[in-house]
Amino acid sequence: MKIYDITIALSDELPAFPGDPPVKIEPVTMLARGDSANVSRITISTHSGTHLDPPRHFNDNGIAIDSLPLSLFAGYALLAEITGIKAIGRAELLRLPLEGEKRLLLKTDNSRLWDQAGFVGDFAHLTPDGAHFVVDAGVKLIGIDYLSIERLHGDGEVHRILLDNGVVILEGLNLAGIVAGSYELICLPLKIRGGDGSPVRAVLRTMDREDFDLHTTRWPLA
């Protein structure tokens, strides 16, 4: 068994999606300053770095991050590689073996963007018809390797299609160097009461498919 960390480290240099507050980490007490311990203050948004979007993100009446079952965030996942394409739609997803899959991670050219300074607006993203395809396929969690599943100047349609139909979104993954295939995904969010999102520590583990119970991926939509 191998464990792959697919989380982006939180730091002052981490890009933020336009309009979101940047990450800020500052010392409060320091041993080097004569204090009794090192303690830092972290200022982040609920959508900083590698994070989850629950239905509450785009719907005041949607399920909040602390009300989703933890079983959704740990289990079998398919990592699919789609490169050379910016707008990922139904045609690109049709070739994927999605039957029975409840968690889908998209590895795109975005994973190379983490090596660049600042936010890059021209990133690979899911289109509305791609989002509808994901819903129809029965996927319950979809992830992508940049700060949004939707294009930079989208109107929220992709998010709403997914979230309103019970598909949680995992954004800000770093899938560079990870080979497409079957893994166990673990991406536990912070328990933020009524939260519209949460940073996560996301990892992949190589395991046999029979170790997973796909029935645990079901969760209530209301």
Catalytic residue numbers, as ranges: 57
Q: Are 83 and 60 in contact (CB under 8 A)?
A: no
Burial class (CB in 10 A: 0-12, 13-18, 19+), 41: exposed
Tell how far CA 113 is from the center of its chain: 16
Tokens of 218: 């079901």
Q: Are 169 and 163 in contact (CB under 8 A)?
A: yes
Cα 196 from Cα 165, distance rounded (Å): 16
Cα 144 from Cα 125, distance rounded (Å): 8
Alpha helices per DSSP H over the chain: 90-93, 128-136, 157-163
